[in-house]
A and B are shown apart, each in its own frame.
Chain A
């Protein structure tokens, strides 16, 4: 348990690709998706869901993965035994979107929409409209399409692009600190 926790902590380590003053780890020590998995968990710390979002699942926070799962065990390892503000974290995986998972999807707090669902993005987002689900994806122009957080890349660094308006419409409150470290986008 402890080892996993430690792994999780270390995963948050910036890849320190370009720290000011130089010096730092140059190469990617951990895989891209370890970092992204850590980020997914971290998002939870900077987002506030409305009270009704916790009605099910004993108040646990649900991270959903829709489509192809790039994370594998990494994510499960990170959330096992972890609690954020007293809430445990569950991971739910969904197969490719076919329109039947809407209710379950809506019960997720964070939903990672895999790149594989690129063509179905509009339907997915439409289905999630009005539900307090934090949508995260690597799909291009995700915020423009109405998504909330997009994983992007700047050189070696993973950056975030956020559409705060979308989050707001869904009833989510994003911490200003989160916004600070991200690029802000508006939807089209």
Chain B
């Protein structure tokens, strides 16, 4: 598992990490300070304790010392066996000679020479005490006690264990709590991020708003986001409205110009010389493209605004194809292309919007015409399950996979293919309009061999109140 640099870590992990590290550090510092204090003060405590013990034993041995009873003194020291930490002890008489001695089992038998003053020291793993033994104010001897520092070590080990246990528990607990609480922050934030990504991809529903969960900065982000999206929405709406309005306004003048051109070509303004004729013919072509483009813009804008209406009625394949191929006989003949019709004349009944279906078919025929220089264009009607299918197949240039991917979107690659592809919105509109008719359009193509577009709409089933 790679450790990410902090700045790349997801927010969830960051927050959890911060919480856990903070609490761990605090805990560790506290423990460290505590243990440090212990290690500094405990030696004093140990010395004090040993001195106290020496006092007690000393007091008890006054008689033994006073009356020279070394046996009693010995048995007194022997009671030290009960304290596992006492390493050795020695009672000295007034001359400084050992009077009674004790060593812990297993310890080497050595006792230091007597020290007359009251001393206690903590060093080299041992606590040592020299304690004058007094009887009613008279000195009767000296007591030496030596203990190991095991007690302190045990304490330290215990503290370390407890620290580790508590530390571990605290770590887990803070991990648990942090990972629960981080949701408060990351949850709303992730929502915003996801939503933004959706919108950037173009898949976001601009009418949906984010839930504002709190008054903190996250809440502010959500609110700002909502406002922002609202503005986007407004801009979108304005754009669509603009397109719609402008397109409408453009339709009339364009139609007028086209009309003038037609009249001129008809000779109503007088005889035309070849140059004039060729100019006007060029203008006519362009004018028609203009008009088509405006119509497409209007259709696309309707689709985007969601205001498409469909008029579904039963209609025969025969009628649809008949209307579609009207006026195309001449251009086809001009290019030397064959038009084949298969299965069209059978009485298949479709349930669709006549104008839209015919328009779609005409569009496909137009495309096929543009992309094919030799061979034929075939219009094929057949049934597939509960759908009626009309195929338009050509022997034209075909398309590569990349082009096909973007075929039905608004983002078509136009460029050198433009003059063959026509006004780029056609297939986007067709795709959507087919959807509104409960149908679809699909394509197969091979570069250099040809293309086949397939329109499918529901078959008309009488008596069921409409389509299947």
Binding site for B on A (CB under 8 A): 9-10, 12-16, 18-21, 23-25, 35, 39, 42, 44-46, 84-85, 157-160, 175, 177-178, 180-182
Contact = CB atoms under 8 A, between A and B. Distances in A.
7 contacts: A12-B66, A13-B95, A20-B101, A39-B67, A177-B62, A178-B67, A181-B66
A177 B95 CA distance: 22
A46 B63 CA distance: 8
B136 A9 contact: no
Interface stretch (B36-44, B69-77, B270-278): B69-77
A129 B60 CA distance: 31
A41 to B, nearest CB: 9
B139 A21 contact: no
Contacts of B69: 159, 180-181
**Interface footprint category on B:** 20 to 34
Contacts of A44: 136
Contacts of A175: 63
Contacts of A18: 70
Contact of B67 (A20, A23, A24, A181): A181
B403 interface: no
B307 to A, nearest CB: 114
B97 A24 contact: yes
Contacts of B74: 20
A12 B72 contact: no
Contact of A9 (B60, B72, B109, B138): B138
Interface of B: 60, 62-70, 72, 74, 93-95, 97-101, 109, 135-140
A20 B60 contact: no
B372 to A, nearest CB: 125
Contacts of A19: 70, 97-100
A181 B97 CA distance: 20
Contact of B94 (A10, A21, A24, A160): A10
B39 to A, nearest CB: 37
Contacts of A23: 97-98
Contacts, number: 85
A177 B93 contact: no
Given A12-B65, A21-B101, A24-B98, 11 more contacts: A16-B93, A16-B97, A25-B95, A42-B66, A42-B67, A42-B135, A44-B136, A84-B137, A177-B62, A177-B63, A181-B66
Interface of B is mostly: mixed
5 residue pairs, one from A and one from B, having the closest CB atoms: A14-B68, A177-B63, A181-B69, A45-B136, A42-B66
A3 to B, nearest CB: 15
A42 B464 CA distance: 132
Nearest to A160: B67
Contact of A45 (B64, B97, B135): B135
Nearest to A180: B72
Nearest to B67: A181
B63 A180 contact: yes
Contacts of A14: 65, 68, 70, 93, 99
A85 B136 CA distance: 7
Given A9-B139, A21-B98, A177 B70 contact: no
Contacts of B70: 14, 16, 18-20
A91 B69 CA distance: 26
Contacts of A157: 68
A150 to B, nearest CB: 13
Contacts of A84: 136-137
A6 B222 CA distance: 96
A12 B135 CA distance: 12
Nearest to A42: B66
Contacts of B68: 12-16, 35, 157-158
Contacts of B99: 14, 16, 19
A42 B109 CA distance: 32
Contact of A12 (B97, B100, B109, B140): B140
A14 to B, nearest CB: 3
A157 B64 CA distance: 13
A45 B59 CA distance: 12
Contacts of A178: 63, 67
A21 B88 CA distance: 14
A139 to B, nearest CB: 19
A185 B285 CA distance: 148
Contacts of A21: 98, 101, 109
A158 B67 CA distance: 8
B94 A181 contact: no
Contacts of B136: 44-45, 84-85
